Structure 1
């Protein structure tokens, strides 16, 4: 059993920015898809597997919090540009992806649209805490 002695402060941040006009189911679905890419691209953000007192094993999860923000369409577009410019690990979700049903079609839908014309509904970004803070500036914590 681990002993907790002092709070853990992370030098990195995982942030999700969602467009503020989405339905609840769209917010949840988009968030789940967006964060899945970060664990694959940046495996060090994944902690150790979990187990309960009976020894039942569970999958590992992120080792740090995921902060979820909401923003206007314009602010989301600005955050996206900031993240792309800084070259941080980034995942995106567009309106078109709500109409697809699988990864192949998702990738094809994204590939069909130039970056500046993407109808973004969400993005997830990982990087140094101060850089991510600058990227999501203009967004507010999701209620």
Structure 2
């Protein structure tokens, strides 16, 4: 697993040029609402696993405050089912723990049911519709080989 503390400080992480990359890969046959839903869920997985990637709270000129966001760009890609399976396999083989979303999760209505939908399925057999990774730029690029930026 990529360990930030071994490489740079939090302030370095959120200041360009970025040494790491956050990328989300979506299956190319999803409906628009599914793409947005999966992207949102996967981004929360990256933020939860990497709190050092979350910047400071936002503030407006009137003194209003707003929630913290990921402090670096999130690139969204798309590809076929095979691209997602390959990306999962490459991430795991590189020691990166991805966030995943499977087709079965569209049929559930809550977090525990989502986890149950994947619990009995071997990783190689997951019916992935989305995957998110964070890691060194070149490693993430290799993980996403075959996918292209979402239009």
Q: TM-score, normalised by structure 1?
A: 0.93
Q: CA deviation at 1:112?
A: 2.0
Q: Which residue of the other structure, out of 106, 110, 120, is the alignment partner of 1:102?
A: 110
SS in 1 for 2:29: coil
CA deviation string 1:3-48 (max 9, x = no partner): xxxx821000000000000000000000000110111111111001
- Structure-1 residue corresponding to 2:142: 134
- Structure-2 residue corresponding to 1:61: 69
- Structure-2 residue corresponding to 1:4: none
Matched positions, count: 137
1:18 partnered with 2:26: yes
- Structure-2 residue corresponding to 1:111: 119
Q: CA deviation at 1:87?
A: 1.5
Distance across 2 between alignment mates of 1:80 and 1:118: 10
Runs of 5+ in structure 2 lacking a partner?
1-14
Q: Which runs of 4+ in 1 moved over 3 A?
A: none
